[in-house]
Amino acid sequence: MAFSHRVYLGLGSNLGDRAANLRYAVRRLPEFGVEVLAASPLYQTAPWGGVAQPDFLNQALLAATDLAPAELLAAVKRLEEAAGRLPTVFWGPRVLDIDILLYDELTFQSERLTIPHREMKNRAFVLAPLLDLSPELALPDGERAAACYARLPEAEKAGVRLYVERIGGKTHMEVIKTVAEMQELGRRWRAEGKKVGLVPTMGYLHEGHLALAKRSVAENDLTVMSVFVNPIQFGANEDLATYPRDLAGDVAKAASVGVDYVFAPEPADMYPEGFAASINLTGVTETLCGASRPGHFQGVCVVITKLFNLVQPTNAYFGQKDGQQLAVLKKLARDFNMPVKINGVPIVREADGLAKSSRNVYLDEECRKQALVLNQSLQAAKKLYDAGERDAEVIKAAVRAHIQTASLADIEYVEIVDALTMQPVSRPEGQVMLALAVRFKTTRLIDNILLGPDE
């Protein structure tokens, strides 16, 4: 992010072409020193008090700026004037209203400005779009925006309705929260012949995910990134509850590489009461991680099938880091004749060689240091292979021996498999994947390297 302060703005308009006025503000904010990172959907709200007047359209923006709070206030006032806002009666109708809701973690009070915005906790038309951008958002006093919203009267919440005409009028990245809305967009894009890229993720984005997104942005008309911690791919004793989550950060990162839509559904919307589908690909799901994580790939296949049906992408992008997942999803698309190309993207590594992973945050200092043996052992195996070694047992033994030099490493598997079928090979021919899973204390890491010709 180029600017140093993260701000949330609330926009409103109830005069003239209301949606156009909001789009105008979003388009011109950069000229006023404010980079828009993400925009919520528009909501339609009956006005509060004052004279009789048309309904408002409201929107929340996540933005970045170098302006100090008072300078930011002056900038948004200038933009309101540029949009044609005239001095009006108190609570009267207006072409454009821009409120500063939050500014970093700051609590600030001057004669003209209060941060967080004085009324934001009490207004459904502020909180609803804000929660679309950032469902986990915490206010500087520690209270969650979602908790403030939850205690508002139902009648007030019901008065704030999603303004659906926005679908055609998108100007910036949007966060799609419902399955119904995602499906409507997917249908529309298919009908319009749009080339759509899908980047499925479980969030807590790192450079590896952003590499997938950048490929998609470069190769498609528009890119959807899903952020969904898929409960059905976790086993009973796995880390579903503690899996790291940061939707606000993810939205900002996705926006920074040009993603058009983040799709962040609720689990109950993806898997409503009575959901019963399962997909079982035999063979390819049974080795490596499939052996130690029963049900994992079934859960992955189900969620990806649902995402493909909703988004209807032309291309989907997955990291080679999860090499078996990539092979499984290629097979899924092939076996079901899914009209989507599955693209694998090379592993992104830290400067010292550790493969990027959302789970790396679990590693303590010592484990993080020792985890370097993984990539080192893969590189050593490649040297053996390049020197002509073709006995899989010899190569695997060398990898194991190197990993065991790390006292905290607990090997789950080291295996050489055919790159497409994921079946173990004893003498590598064609392209094979040397894959490993190793635990460092409670953290399970996987890594792999492809050996042999790309087929």
209 is catalytic: yes
Q: Does 73 bind ligand PAF (CB under 6 A)?
A: no
Give CA–CA dist 372/349, Å, rounded.
11
Kindly state the smallest distance separating residue 212's Cβ from ligand PAF, in Å. 10
Kindly state the smallest distance separating residue 197's Cβ from ligand PAF, in Å. 14
Looking at 233, 287, 314, 320, which residue binds ligand PAF (CB under 6 A)?
Answer: 233
Kindly state the smallest distance separating residue 299's Cβ from ligand PAF, in Å. 7
| Interaction mask 289-328, ligand PAF, x per CB under 6 A | -----------x--xx-----------------x--x---
| Interaction mask 323-362, ligand PAF, x per CB under 6 A | --x-------------------------------------
Give CA–CA dist 157/137, Å, rounded.
18
Kindly state the smallest distance separating residue 330's Cβ from ligand PAF, in Å. 13
Is residue 321 a contact partner of residue 448, using CB atoms and an 8 Å limit? yes
User: Nearer to ligand PAF by C-beta: 216 or 233?
Assistant: 233
Give CA–CA dist 219/229, Å, rounded.
26
Q: How many other β-carbons are positioned within 10 Å of the β-carbon of residue 8?
A: 26
Kindly state the smallest distance separating residue 227's Cβ from ligand PAF, in Å. 9
Give CA–CA dist 276/159, Å, rounded.
35
User: Nearer to ligand PAF by C-beta: 21 or 233?
Assistant: 233
Give CA–CA dist 177/283, Å, rounded.
35
At 145, phi and psi to the nearest 5?
Answer: -60, -35
User: Nearer to ligand PAF by C-beta: 134 or 233?
Assistant: 233
Q: Does 232 bind ligand PAF (CB under 6 A)?
A: no
Q: Does 185 bind ligand PAF (CB under 6 A)?
A: no
Q: Which helix (H) or strand (E) holds 335?
A: helix 323-335
The catalytically annotated residue of 117, 172, 209, 296 is: 209
User: Nearer to ligand PAF by C-beta: 233 or 298?
Assistant: 233
Q: Does 259 bind ligand PAF (CB under 6 A)?
A: no
Kindly state the smallest distance separating residue 411's Cβ from ligand PAF, in Å. 22
Kindly state the smallest distance separating residue 447's Cβ from ligand PAF, in Å. 14
Q: Which residues contact 369 (CB under 8 A, 6 or more apart)?
A: none
Binding residues for ligand PAF, rule CB under 6 A, total 10
- Token pair belonging to 25: 């503000």
Classify 427 as helix, strand or coil: coil
Q: What is the gyration radius of the CA atoms in the chain, in angstroms?
A: 25
Is residue 192 a contact partner of residue 236, using CB atoms and an 8 Å limit? no
Give CA–CA dist 89/403, Å, rounded.
73
User: Nearer to ligand PAF by C-beta: 267 or 283?
Assistant: 267
Looking at 14, 44, 59, 201, which residue binds ligand PAF (CB under 6 A)?
Answer: 201
Classify 26 as helix, strand or coil: helix
Cα–Cα distances in angstroms (integers) from residue 279 to residues 200, 235, 288, 417, in the given order: 18, 16, 18, 23
Looking at 76, 83, 202, 446, which residue binds ligand PAF (CB under 6 A)?
Answer: 202
Give CA–CA dist 37/346, Å, rounded.
27
Which residue is associated with the tokens 């694998």? 344
- Which residues are near ligand PAF by CB under 6 A? 200-202, 230, 233, 300, 303-304, 322, 325
**Catalytic residue numbers, as ranges:** 209
